[in-house]
Every structure is written in structure tokens, then in C-alpha cells.
Structure 1
């Protein structure tokens, strides 16, 4: 087995950010992608070897042949890509990391717990901004206490948008996450997207509105807290009635696989204009309520959300290479503790 870190989807924004964060840690990655020209351009920024692979299926076979030590998957939709890559990592004992942030993808990863344990490698899913930021707060809120009755987590990313195309990977992930969900009585159940809107006053005095969105934070917060009732919300969720109505109609149409495939291709070509970050900081937020009426609240203050999303997989890969992992399937704070985020530039602000 080599001492390599592979980044699948290395020419995308997340892949390039992860490669840059690894370079800051004196680690170079093998950059994996479909386009040799774009891979060469990415390598000029961060260094590293190139591996051209035409598809996820082909990449899985290359993992079996070359046996990298750590594989970082940035290519969505993760419901389609993650099972193929995780299974290849099972066969080789390679550690696996992905940026999944929807309940179905996280649930599919957790179903592979037994095989990951048997293969004696670590599978870390949800290693991006939303899951990692909010899970770390829930872990701190619930430390040393019985399971709360209810947990709400909110993610408020702040990132600049670069000019370019939206991309099929991003659009595919978004279209696959249009079915609203929450956790009730310990189970995933349907819930309207954009419901339970709440205006939050952030620790810096600014205000922002978040609303229900079916994010991977649901499962991460549920597993971290044991709470039978969990809501995940985002500042990116539609909170107005017209927007919620439009999303509901679109989610009905996207149940047709062929239509979702066509929409993914077409929307992925849309030109996106450059846009400044909406606020100075990104924030994660969580509130937990217990049966005795006790409520605890916490925040995580970060810089630019995309940089954090690059730092988390890079930090995890560094730790895995130094033997800090354990066999099984985990989310980041479940494996490394809440303070994994402080190694990636985050700061917890906890209430009493």
C-alpha cells in the first residue's frame, strides 16, 4: 500500500480547496478527475500527481489496483458515488472520507459499519461544513448529560461565489435533497422544506433567518445526542411561502429519475455570476432541550465556509495517516471529538 491521499473530483472547487489545505500540511495528493487539462491546471496550484479516470466506476477499480491509503470523495450525488468508492476501499483497507450532506447518503454509509470494522479501516462521511460544524456543537452541549428531548441545528454558511458554471455534481446533490425530512420519535419522517423558520441573533449582533432543510446534520445530531426529535435548518433554505411552494412543486417533479437526470445536465450548464460572501463569518448553531426544561445553546464561529470544507478532510486525512483512526463508519466529531473543528479554524461559543 502506498502513502498516498487521493482526491476524487480534484478539479472542482472543493477538491482544489482540499488539495491546498493538504499542501499547507506538507502533504501532496493524487488529483483524480476526468479532464487531463483541468487536472494539470489544478496541479500547478498545489502540486501532486495526476490520475485521469473517466468515471466513478473506473476510479473504484483504480483504487483496488493501486491501493491508496486515504481516499477523499468530493463528487456528488453521494448516494450514487459513495457506495462504489466505499466498497472499493473496503476491499483494499483504504480509509475513506466524503463531503456528503444529505440524510440518504449518510444513512447508506452507516449501513456499511460492519464491513468497515471487519476491514479495519475508517469511513468518515459528512466531512464538510454543515455536518462537522453543527455536530461538534451538539457533542459539546450533550457531554455528560442524558439524551435531550429535542435538538435543532442551524447552518449559516458564508462564502463567495466564483463566476462559472454551476456544475452537474452540485446540481445533482441539490436536486436529490428536495424531499423534506426531520427526525420524530427517533425516525426519519417527511417534513416540509422551509418549515419552522426562525430568525436568529448571531453572537456578533447580526440577524439571519434559517428554515427546515433535509441535511445530513439530522442524522449526525441524532446520533451525537440520542434525541428522539431533531430538526436541521439552513440560512439557504426557502422560508417565504412562494419559494416553499416552488420547491414543493419541483420536488414532486424530481421524483422521476429521467427528469432529474435531464434537469441535472441542463442546470449544471447555467452560468453563475460572481458574488461576495453574505457575512463576515460562517456559523454553526445548535439548541438542545431536556425533559426537565433545561435548554442549552451553542455556536461555532468560522471563516469562509468553503475553506472550512477544505480544511476538515485535509485534517482528517492527516490524522488517519498518523494512525488516529478507528475501524468503522463515523462522522467527524464522532470519531475525533468536538475539537476537530478548532484544528480547522473554528471557535466554539457555548452558553451556560
Structure 2
């Protein structure tokens, strides 16, 4: 293993740049990894790094995995997206040298594939962390906090309300693939400890946020659902998102959309069209991003909690950077985990989140 080297895969992307900047601010010089040497040098210069700072040029997950296997960095941060396809080759490359790995996935397929590597990771003394961003830790941390030193609850619900500034550019294939495949999967929830299929958009909740704004959230398949169940042990768990329109017309159309996107030709067409969508720069729509959880115990006790932060993308990059720094310091648990399970709910506050819990 290359002592102390921390690799940022996809370092020229929005999240990759932000993670690298936070790691530099913490006093560590990361290795920037990407497909374009010119853009890597631009990012390095923007971070104030020396011209001779190490970069690794690798086009795609397979090439990156080969370099990880060859050079054996201490920590690998995967920000390249398309996690369902990239987590296994990249994580396995880390295991070959005892490296640690983390990503920002919020995709049930990617979650299951990474968590299935738990025994291999434990045997290699490596820590693999999936969901190191707002999309998972923003609600998982609240559930872990509410459940500390208490018996296993009977029911958990988590709701995510992200507020993100839009960066000018194109959506890109990786993000488009995640969106399309998320809709194609259909609804999911836990009942009796089993992950079951449900009607996509069938669950909707209307909440008043702690700052007084009214928001709606719709049930979607997500890594947040899996993380909440794992960290709580509750047999009944559901997850909703404020990013999906809650109108009756939209929710009525979601099951049909899900079925259509499971057709290979339709999926390919949708990803291609969506990837090319151009976005204009825009400020985040609300001052705060909120995570929410309601936990119910068999005796009828109910506790509710909120996590408040600013821009959800800024929080995501901070979570990834803090996770990488903790793993580099040897604070992780060998095996494959979600963020709070690996490093505790305080990871969220270290990344700039503020948790408030109250008895319902």
C-alpha cells in the first residue's frame, strides 16, 4: 500500500473537485484521478497544488481499478457515479491491497452489491463505505442518533429534502443512468424485515419543516431505505424524497413510467436524451437542506429528529472528505458498511450537519 495516499476518482467533476478541496484544506494532498490530464492539472492549480503534484490518468472504472491494484493507495474516493456498475470492480481493486473505499451511492442495487463484499473486506482489513453523502447519511445519522442505547424499534420512516444549487453544464450519462434506473426499479419498503416491492409513488407525506416551510415527500427506492433498516434493525421501514413532485397526476403516472423504463430500448433512449440535458446555473431553492426521521417502538414511544445543513451537494462533499480522513486515520470498521454504521452519527456533525431530536 502507498502510505497515506488518498485518491479522488473523478476529480474534475463537481463532487470530486469539492472533496479534493476539503481534503486539501484539512492539510492532506490528494492524488487526483481522471481521464483528462489537462483538466486534472487545471483542478490541481485551482487547489493551489504544486505543478509536480501526483495525478493519475485513467479512462473509466476498469482502468482506474487496474491502477488501484498496481499502486495500492491507502484510501479511494469514488465520485465517478454509475455506482451500480463501478462499485464492485473498484472496491475489489481496493481489497487486493488492503485499501479503504468510499462512494456517494444512493442506489439500492449499488448498495446490495457493495454490502455483499462485507466478508471479503473484513478478511482484507479494509473498510468499504457506501452512501457517504447527504443522500444516505442525512437521514441515517438521525436514525442512529435516536436509536442509541434503546431497544430495536418496530417502525422507522425517513424523509429527505435536499436543496441544491445547480451548476451550468450537461446532466451526464452517470447521473442520467442513476435517475432512470431508480424509476425503473419501482417502489420499495421493508415489512416484516423483508424488502418488498410497492407501488412507486404510493406513499406521500406532507410535513412542516422546522423553519416553517411546507413540503411534500414521495416514496422512492433509495439507499436511505436500506441504511435506515440496517442501522435500526426495525422490521418496518419506509423512505421518501422531496425531489419527486407529489401531485396526484404525477404519482398516478409513476407506475407506468417505471414499467416503460424497464424495457431495454426505452431505458437506453431515456438515458441518452436525459444525459444531454443542459442545465443553467441557479442558486439553491431553499436556505436549508433537511433530513427527517420518525422512529416508533413496540411500547408506543415515538421520537422524531431532524438534520439541518446548507447545500446538499456541499454536505455530500464534506461527508465524503470526512469519511476519507477518518479512514486514513484508521478509524473505520473492517467490512462493508453505510456511513453511520462505519463511523457513527457524529460523522454528520463533523461534515457540518446539525441534528435536533424531540419526543413526538
Q: TM-score normalised to the size of structure 1?
A: 0.96
Q: C-alpha displacement at 1:50, in angstroms?
A: 2.1
Q: C-alpha displacement at 1:282, in angstroms?
A: 0.6
Q: C-alpha displacement at 1:258, in angstroms?
A: 4.7
Larger deviation, residues 196-205 vs 228-237 = 196-205
* Residue correspondence of structure 1 range 38-49 to structure 2 within 5 A: 38-46=39-47, 47=49, 49=54
Distance 1:133 1:9 in 2: 23
Distance 1:51 1:336 in 2: 29
* Residue correspondence of structure 1 range 3-14 to structure 2 within 5 A: 3-14=4-15
Question: CA contact under 8 A between 2:309 and 2:354: conserved in structure 1?
Answer: yes
Q: C-alpha displacement at 1:247, in angstroms?
A: 3.3
- Could you say which residue in structure 1 is the equivalent of 2:323? 316
- Could you say which residue in structure 2 is the equivalent of 1:109? 114
Q: C-alpha displacement at 1:80, in angstroms?
A: 0.4
Unaligned ranges ≥5, structure 1:
none
- Could you say which residue in structure 2 is the equivalent of 1:69? 74
Larger deviation, residues 236-245 vs 306-315 = 236-245
Unaligned ranges ≥5, structure 2:
none
Question: CA contact under 8 A between 1:109 and 1:125: conserved in structure 2?
Answer: yes
Q: Deviations over 1:308-337 (max 9, x none)?
A: 100111111111111212211111111211
Distance 1:250 1:92 in 2: 43
Match status 1:290 vs 2:291: no
Distance 1:204 1:270 in 2: 33
Q: C-alpha displacement at 1:211, in angstroms?
A: 1.2
Distance 2:254 2:168 in 1: 25
Q: Secondary structure at the match of 2:102?
A: strand
Distance 1:201 1:330 in 2: 32
Q: Deviations over 1:143-200 (max 9, x none)?
A: 1221111110011111110111011111111111112211111111112222221111
In the alignment, which of 212, 219, 227 is matched to residue 220 of structure 1? 227
Q: C-alpha displacement at 1:253, in angstroms?
A: 2.4
Q: Deviations over 1:119-150 (max 9, x none)?
A: 00100111010211111100111112211111
Distance 2:5 2:316 in 1: 20
Distance 1:117 1:339 in 2: 23
* Residue correspondence of structure 1 range 190-269 to structure 2 within 5 A: 190-269=197-276
Distance 2:341 2:68 in 1: 26
Distance 1:198 1:250 in 2: 21
Q: Deviations over 1:11-44 (max 9, x none)?
A: 2111111111111111222121122232222222
- Could you say which residue in structure 2 is the equivalent of 1:55? 60
Distance 1:25 1:248 in 2: 46
Question: CA contact under 8 A between 2:333 and 2:343: conserved in structure 1?
Answer: no
Distance 2:138 2:277 in 1: 30
Alpha carbons of structure 1 residues 235 and 296: separation in structure 2 relative to 1, 3 Å: same
Q: Deviations over 1:59-81 (max 9, x none)?
A: 11111101111001112221100
Distance 1:118 1:261 in 2: 38
Alpha carbons of structure 1 residues 41 and 248: separation in structure 2 relative to 1, 3 Å: farther
Distance 2:76 2:136 in 1: 19
RMSD: 1.4
Distance 1:59 1:76 in 2: 13
Question: CA contact under 8 A between 1:156 and 1:234: conserved in structure 2?
Answer: yes
Distance 1:233 1:45 in 2: 38
Question: CA contact under 8 A between 1:73 and 1:98: conserved in structure 2?
Answer: yes
Q: C-alpha displacement at 1:281, in angstroms?
A: 0.8
Question: CA contact under 8 A between 2:105 and 2:131: conserved in structure 1?
Answer: yes
Point out 4+ residue stretches in structure 1 off by more than 4 angstroms: none
Distance 2:31 2:275 in 1: 26
Question: CA contact under 8 A between 2:322 and 2:351: conserved in structure 1?
Answer: yes
